[in-house]
Every structure is written in structure tokens, then in C-alpha cells.
Structure 1
């Protein structure tokens, strides 16, 4: 454990799942990450400015081997699988090979320690697609835990408001109750996702709902705590908790209990 210098996370999910924003919040940054190839060489500046959630025209610029690092927190290293969609056998095979190698390599500083799988609530009507089914049924991540992140939860506000208006509520009352209804919708879809992925051969180890990530003050402590809780090495827990910058309270809590 003393040889491990940085905590390494693979981030997966569909295009436009809000991955970049989450990483910025976790690292307390508003900047784009610096990108390095697998050998530690910094990539050209023009690539750094490209959003890793970009759609088709820029898809493929980022490779899963590339390291994404924010200057504000050099202790966290991220890898991005790109827009993970069904139907791309090549992309799935590349991701599987990456997980198998980096999950068990003897080069301890190249190992990935956790996987964040993002499911955006902008697509709440298709929360578990063939891509998710394929990954959780066919990709054995070994000892590397996978956590499902429900992203862009704020997108459920409008369906919640429309549902209340359809029930006959006046606009003022509907707005007052929209937040509560949004929470009910979130619970509904979270239960559905847990049920569907729970049937898979390699189900996730945890689930986290992320809200208001567009705000610089967004709270990521639940994500960091969930990630720490599913790690099977106390040394890795200690590394993650000491490296994360989203919550001083989390550091204190972990120090007291551990």
C-alpha cells in the first residue's frame, strides 16, 4: 500500500452523462483536466480543451488508456471509457481488456481501484439499456468495485411537475410539491435500476444519486463515502479519504471510526 501513489478511477457511462462535471466537483475544480498518455506524456493542449462528454464528432479522441488529472488534486487519476453505448463490440472489448489488466497488474501504480458507472436521469425512460446489461453480465471486474452513479437527477423535476399538473393541481401548488414528487420519481427509478442490475451476473457494489452537480458548491461527499465503503482494502480507503477534497467532515468521520 505504501507504494501506491494515486487513487485511480475508471469512469463509464453514456455520452452526455455529466462525467466531466462530476470529476470537476470531486476535485474542486472548474478547469478541464490535463490528459496524459499511458506512458506519462502530456497530450497536446488542443485535446485538453475537448470535453470528455462530447458527442459523435469528438468521440474516439479520448482513449481509455489516457489519464485525466486535475491540477487541483493530483492524487486522483481518472480514465474515461467514452460514450459507452450498445452495439460497439470493439469498444466493449477494449474496455474489458483495460479492466482485466489494470485491475490486477503487478504494477501497483497502474491499477484501477474503483469504477464509476454513470446512468443519466435525462434518459429515465431507458435507465437500463442493452449496454448496461452487457457490462454487468459479461465484465468481471474482479476485486475492483463498481458503483452506479445516477447523474443529472435534476432532470426529473420537469416530469414531476408535469405529473402533478396532469393530476389537476394548480401551477402554484404543483411547484410547491414538485421537489417531493421528484424525490419519489428518483426512488422509483433507483429501485428499478437496482432490481434490473441485481439480476446480472456481476451486479454493482453500490449506488449514489447526484444532484445539482452544475453548481460549484455541489456536495460529492456521498459519492466519496460510498466509494470508500465498498473498497476491500483499508489502505485504499485511507488513500481515497485523504486524497478527496469534497468533504473535510468525511476525513474526520473516517479518522474517528477507523
Structure 2
């Protein structure tokens, strides 16, 4: 597969400039907060569940809790489980990673303007929370590249209308391998043999990703970072680049410390932050 330089993946937290008092205050806050809250947005085929399982290093399904903290019995909401899971106020927690709380928006193409308003209201309400643990700390917006139109009305609406304040957005391009497959087909249709088409597919894929970057830069509300994920359904793939990017875009070393200590996708990153 092709290799693309990821954006915003500097892993050098500025801990050395902190006073001893500030370091103690930060560690106390991190211990008190203890949990990291993520809103993940994307259409039905964006691969969101796969990403969450990779981040939490599990193959199990998450437990679901309503806004009152009551556990939802998945069997009791069949056949409406899909709707129950995608209530943005519900919390998804994986047993082996209880430090992560995930909120899932099903994507605006599924609910139209109503779904967009729910997301705006959710972000606004969470930003007013006084306790750090109740706030949303980062937003992952997943865009699958196996679609001929990766930027649809939903993306145009979100990045043009939804201001997230201090909550950073990371765009996660998923299913990037689809660009290479598409490139081979296009080049073969242009008369190239398979071997030549395969060789040229890398440049084709990079060109299309560059177009996607330019599109993101044209919006009023731009993401703080972006990463590329490919073939995530395979057992040997991981979300290390997403972990790096997320750690980098977080404002404040307290949130960085909570996130890095919670994630299980990269032991290397956890060790690096622990040493520094």
C-alpha cells in the first residue's frame, strides 16, 4: 500500500518548561478526570466500530449506557439496536478500556438536518460542563474513501456550520486502499497493462488525497489534524497514527496525559510519554 506523510503527529509534549507545582497540579487533574471522552462521527460504512475496537485492542462489542448511566440491554432493543447504539447521548464503553467513553453520531445523511442539530447541541452542552470528565475532549470525523464522493452534503454542512470551540477535530480518512483499486481500474481502461497500472496507482492515490486536503482547507471550520487508515479489517493493522495525531492536537498536557495513558493501540507512545 502507498505511504503518506501524516499531519500533526509531533510527539514531544512540552513538559520540561513546567514548574514542579504545575506538574503536580497536572497529574492530580489527570488522576481526578481519569476518563477520556470522544465523539466519533461518520456514515454507516465509514468503519467507526472497527476503529474503536482497534484503539481499545479488543474484538468485543461495547457496553452501552444511557444519559442516566444505566446500562442498556442490547437484546432488549432489538430490532431497534441500531437506533439505540447511535443515540448520541448514549455512552459506549469497552470492558478492557473503561477509561474511554465514546459517543457515536450515525452521520448526517441518515438523519438529515435533525442529526446535524443534535450534534451541534451535544457539542454545545458538553462544552458548558464544568467537570473535565464530562466534557468532550476530541472529535474524530471519519470519511471513507471507497465512495466516489467522499465529501457529501453532510461534510459540507459540518465543516461549514459547526463550530466546535476548543474541541479539536481529527479527520480520519478510512478505506484508503480503495484509491489504489480505483486507480488500477482507471489506468487499465486508459490502455495500460496491469503491471503498469499497479505501479501508477500510488501517484493516482496521492493526487486524490491531495485534492481531499485542499477541500478541507476551504472550509470555515478546519480540522486540527488528519490521518489515513487502510485495510483496518485485517488483524495486523492498527491505529497508531490516529493515536499520535490525537495526542498532538490536544490542548493542554493534562488531556494528553489522560489520553495517552488510556489508549491501548500503541505501547510505544505510552512509554515515550511516561519517560518524558
TM bin (shorter chain): 0.7 to 0.9
| Cα pair 1:32 1:51 within 8 Å, conserved | no
Task: Report the CA distance between 1:47 and its aligned residue.
Answer: 6.5
Q: Which residue of 1 aligns with 2:108?
A: 84
Query: TM (normalized to structure 1)?
Result: 0.87
Partner residue, 2:33: 4
State the SS of the aligned residue for 1:218.
coil
Instruction: Tell me the distance in 1 between the aligned counterparts of 2:146 and 2:130.
Output: 40
What is the correspondence of 1:203-242 to structure 2 with a 5 Å cutoff? 203-242=222-261
**Contact kept in structure 2, 1:73 and 1:243, CA below 8 Å:** yes
Higher alpha-carbon deviation: 233-242 or 180-189: 180-189
TM superposition shift of 1:6: 0.7
Provide the secondary structure at the position in 1 that maps to 2:146.
helix
Q: CA 1:241 to 1:138, structure 2 compared with 1: closer, same or farther past 3 Å?
A: same
Corresponding residue to 2:52 among 6, 9, 23:
23
Q: Secondary structure at the match of 1:252?
A: helix
Where relative contact order (Cα < 8 A, 6+ residues apart) is larger, the structure is 2
TM-score (normalised: structure 2)? 0.82
Q: Is the 8 A contact 2:85 2:104 kept in 1?
A: no
Cα gap change, 1:212 to 1:50, in 2 (>3 Å):
farther
> Is the 2:64–2:72 Cα contact (8 Å) retained in structure 1?
yes
Describe the superposition over 1:117-155 as per-residue Cα deviations: whole angstroms up to 9, x where unpaired. Answer: 0000111x2122221111111111011000100011122
Match runs of 1:93-242 below 5 Å: 93-123=117-147, 125-171=148-194, 173-174=195-196, 178=198, 181-242=200-261
SS in 1 for 2:121: helix
> Does the CA contact (< 8 Å) of 2:77 and 2:84 recur in 1?
no
Call closer, same or farther: CA 1:27–1:149 in 2, change over 3 Å: same
Partner of 1:41: 70
Deviations 1:174-220 (A, max 9, x none): 5xx63x54443442232222212212211111010001210122121
Q: Distance in 2 between matches of 1:76 and 1:33?
A: 11
Decide whether aligned partners of structure 1 residues 163 and 33 sit closer, same or farther in structure 2, where only a CA change above 3 A counts. Answer: same
8 Å CA contact retained: 1:152, 1:211: yes
- Give the aligned partner of residue 32 of structure 1: 61
Distance across 2 between alignment mates of 1:29 and 1:122: 25
Larger of the two Rg values belongs to structure: 2
User: CA contact under 8 A between 1:117 and 1:146: conserved in structure 2?
Assistant: yes
Q: Secondary structure at the match of 2:72?
A: coil
Instruction: Give the length in aligned residue pairs.
Output: 247
- C-alpha contact 1:20 1:51 (8 A) present in aligned 2: no
Question: Structure 1 residue 15: deviation in Å?
Answer: 1.7
Q: 1:231 to 1:59 in 2, by over 3 A?
A: same
Following the alignment from structure 1 to structure 2, what is the Cα–Cα distance between the partners of residues 213 and 146? 21
Whole-angstrom distance in 2 between the partners of 1:156 and 1:226: 22
Q: Deviations over 1:72-108 (max 9, x none)?
A: 2111111001132287221111110101111331132
Q: Does 1:71 align with 2:95?
A: yes
Answer yes or no: is the 8 Å Cα contact 1:86–1:130 preserved in 2.
no
Structure 1 portions without partners, runs of 5+: 53-57
**Secondary structure, counterpart of 1:80 in structure 2:** strand
